[in-house]
Structures are given as structure tokens and as C-alpha cells.
Amino acid sequence: MTRKYFGTDGIRGRANVAPMTADMALRVAMATAHVLINKEEAAGRGHKSRAVIGKDTRLSCYMFEQAMAAGFEAMGMNVMFVGPIPTPAVAMLTRSLRADLGVMISASHNPYQDNGIKLFGADGYKLSDTLELEIEAMIDSADMTLGLAKPDDIGNASRFDDARGRYIEFLKSSLPRRQTLEGLKIVVDCANGAGYKIAPQILWELEARVIPIHNAPNGSNINERCGATNLSSLQKRVVKEKADIGIALDGDADRLIVVDEKGAVIDGDQILALLATTMAQAQTLSKDGVVATVMSNLGLERFLTQNDIQLHRTPVGDRYVVEKMRQLNSNLGGEQSGHVVLSDYGTTGDGLLTALQILSIVKNKKQADGLCASEVLRVFAPLPQILKSVSFTPQTDPLNDRHVKKTIEEAARALDGKGRLLVRASGTEPVIRVMAEGESEQDVQAIVDNVCDVISQSAPDKTNTKKGRA
């Protein structure tokens, strides 16, 4: 299926530049409302539909929030604003408030100049590819006034003031009764994003000693040298404060990266490994195993296999992880980048939900065995893995170049049986991701550098090559 606007995680782009304009936000809202209302009426369930709208802390969120509200109201949908709040909270609130649609205005880990639109259905899951295609077709229809509500049926807007409190109580309910985090000193990097109030508050309520950093958003500092994609300040602060652990969220708080007491990084693969073995010992892990993406380290797969846990791989994107989990009835999945899905509790990646599970394990191990975070969290030895990104001009396709294809084939053969090579276009920005892993870091580095060089030469307009996360 070819999609014009929706990527792997909604619509995303530079704020106030097509496609991320106020006009597009208005049209997305109108088109989505039209599609959903028609389906309800066709099923004989006609009623006053309702949309929940959340956002992160970008300045442009105000513009898009109002544009989308206008679009929904024009089609006869009521709107509930929940303010700056994590993406998983929007998914939870959509279900809790019996809304028909959840909207999160965020560009996740991207810089503040970007923004995006994520859509959730009434069940709290991201909309299917099929539904997104229907919405795209309606966005581009010649007459967007089709289906406008009559004057008496225009929707209204209200603000739900208890959104943060309701989400905090939901998160607490994921822990065993009377479980606290007393005795833990935690540094939390809020990325100046959607979790800037909730993260420190819930950790304090659970009796931890909390040191919040990057928790003063000003509209333009979200993800700026902080958060899950830039850990240097968190690492330094954890060591300086002699903290037990550090946790880092991204801009919309749907992913988590951990730092141990020594400042070493614990990525999503290590988190998955720890949760999988802990849940298996408690007999709460589903028999169908764990779901991860093609980016997850081969060391994770080998570790899980040694523990009689099967790993299923999907394309990159937490939506594909969730789809596979639902197919298999699996209750644990995630990405190396820190999106972790615990389907016993939620429907999408949730940085704070995952953090509470990890912090609970660390607290219990410290209390029972005197272990520190580095001893608890580093579960397996990862294979050397190198990931680099190559920028390219939009509307071009460097991966279709004959020389690029040949180089990739040769590199894959060189790693056959000893590692993996993955080359893919990002679903959220115009870059090609090149990842390789194997027994020798030197060999892997040489392979990645060579592939990136060839791709750069095939895309002369943009040859910016950089290290990065998937």
C-alpha cells in the first residue's frame, strides 16, 4: 500500500511547511471524522462522536490543536482537550473516556521545528493502514465540505482537567499493591517534553528520591541535547549525584532509555531481555514469546533462545510490533530505541509504564540481594552493532540505484552466517538507515562506512551522513 501522508507513526514534518500545516491539520480532522462517522452510521451506531486531543510541548502544538478541533467540530464531533501529556496517556484516555478517536500532536524525538499527528481508535490502538488510506483519500477529495454538520449539530469543545491524575493512577495500578520505590535515588530526564510534570510527580508519589532534569519546556527546547536520544547530561548527573539509576524519556514519553549508576546506557534490547526473563520466572510471559523489530541486536535473540523464549521480528515501528503482538497474543514487545509495549496494561509504547516495571525490579533486587542497577540491568552481551544515517533528497530513491543495490548485496554476503545487515528508508524523516552487526566491530564498521559512502554518492544533493538511532 502506497501512502502519501501517513508514515510509520502518523503524519510528520516541518511545522508550517507542507504537509504539516494548519490547513492540513484541519483537513485531517475533517477527513477522519467523516470516515469514522460514516462507519458508525453504516453499522447502525450513529451517535455524537468524541475525540480526545493531547499534545507535547512544541510551540506549534497550539496551532495544530486548534485547527484539528475546528475540523472535528465542523463535522459534528465533540472535542476534549487534555493538554501536554504523553502519547500513551492519550491512548489510555481514549478508552477510559469512551471516546471514538484519540489524537496526539507530537513529532516524538524530533527537534521542536517538526511536528506530527498520531491517531488512535476507540480501542486505544493506532489506526490500521487500511483506515489511514481511507482518510488520505478523503483529505485529497475535491469537496471537503462533504458531510459538514448542520448548524444545530456542530460539535463542542471542553477541557478534561483530570487527565494527568487519571494517567498517574493508571500507571500505579501496574505495580503490585503496596509496592513503592523507597530507597531509590532516581534522576529523570523529561526531555522538556510531554512527561515533564507527570514523570517527577509519579516517582515522588511512589516515595523515590527524585532529581528531575530538562523539565522546563519553553516551546522550543523539547529534545534539545536531552532525552532518550541524547543521554550525555543524564549520564553526568547520575554519576555526580551518586544516584541509583537514571531514566530518560523522549519528547512524547512513549520510549525509555535507562542509565545505570555508572552512567552506562541500557537500551531497549536490555530492557526487553530483563522484562522477558522476569516475567517468565513469574509465569506471566505469554507462551508465544517476545516481539521485537529487525533492529534488535542478535545478542538479544541468542539470549532469549538460551532461556527458551522465542523472539519474533517485525519491520521497524512500534505499530508493527503491536500488530504482531496482537496476532500472536504476546504480552511483551518493543524496539531497541526504547519503545516497549506491555499489552497486559497498555496498547502502545509507554516510557513511564516501562520505567516503573524496571525500577520495581531494581528496587527489589537492591533490597533482597544488595545488587546495584548495573548488575541487574545488563542482562546479555550485545554483538557489535553500528548504525548510521544518510540524508537524501525527498522524492528520490537512492536504494533503487544499481550500484547501491550491488554494494548492499555484497555486504550482506560478507556477513552471512556471522551477523546481519539492514538498510532501510526511515518512515519519519528523509534518511536511509544502515545497520550492521557481527562478531568483529572493525569489520562491521568498515561495511557500514562503505555502504553509506555509496549511498551518499548516489544522492549528491544531500550527503550528510551521521550516526543515529533507529
Which three cell numbers mark 102?
484519540
Q: What's the rounded Cα separation, in Å, for the pair 439 and 441?
A: 7
Which three cell numbers mark 359?
525500577
Q: What's the rounded Cα separation, in Å, for the pair 419 and 410?
A: 14
What does the buried/exposed string (b/e) look like for 158-175 if buried means 16 or more CB atoms within 10 Å of the residue's CB? eebeebbebbbebbeebb
Which three cell numbers mark 64?
495544530
Helices (H) then strands (E): counts for the chain: 14, 19
Stated length of the chain: 470
CA dihedral of 234, 237, 238, 242, whole degrees rounded to 10:
180
Other CB atoms within a 10 A radius of the CB of residue 224 amount to 16
Q: Is 426 a catalytic residue?
A: no
Catalytic residue among 108, 330, 456, 458: 108
Which three cell numbers mark 253?
514519553
Which residues have a Cβ under 8 Å from the Cβ of 337 and sit 6 or more positions away?
228, 255, 267, 268, 295, 469, 470
- Determine the residue type at 353: L
Other CB atoms within a 10 A radius of the CB of residue 137 amount to 12
Q: What's the rounded Cα separation, in Å, for the pair 296 and 337?
A: 9
Q: What's the rounded Cα separation, in Å, for the pair 388 and 327?
A: 32
Instruction: Enumerate the β-bridge partners of residue 213.
Output: 189
If DSSP codes are grouped into helix, strand and coil, which group holds residue 281?
helix
Which residues form the catalytic set?
108
